[in-house]
Amino acid sequence: MDFHQVPIGFGLALSANTAAMNRYAHLSESQKRDILNKAHNVHSEEEMYALVETLANGAM
């Protein structure tokens, strides 16, 4: 599995949250890789939206 590819669910959740999208865009490559690793381990839509909300709130 290529962890550098954005999971579809993460991309959809990110596009629905402007604050999270802006924050993600300004992360370093290693920070983006960490977030993508977490996104690849999400098991539900609710969990994905919670991950993105956490990103939007700056908790990551």
User: How high is the mean pLDDT in each 10-residue block of the chain (60 residues)?
Assistant: 75 95 94 94 96 91
The answer to whether residue 22 sits within a structural domain is yes
Number of domains in the chain: 1
The answer to whether residue 36 sits within a structural domain is yes
pLDDT at residue 9, rounded to an integer: 95
Which burial class, exposed, middle or buried, applies to 13 when counting CB atoms under 10 A from its CB (0-12, 13-18, 19+)? Answer: buried
pLDDT at residue 4, rounded to an integer: 61
pLDDT at residue 1, rounded to an integer: 43
- The answer to whether 28 and 58 are in contact (CB under 8 A) is no
pLDDT at residue 34, rounded to an integer: 94
The answer to whether residue 37 sits within a structural domain is yes
The answer to whether residue 2 sits within a structural domain is no
Q: What pTM did the predictor assign?
A: 0.84
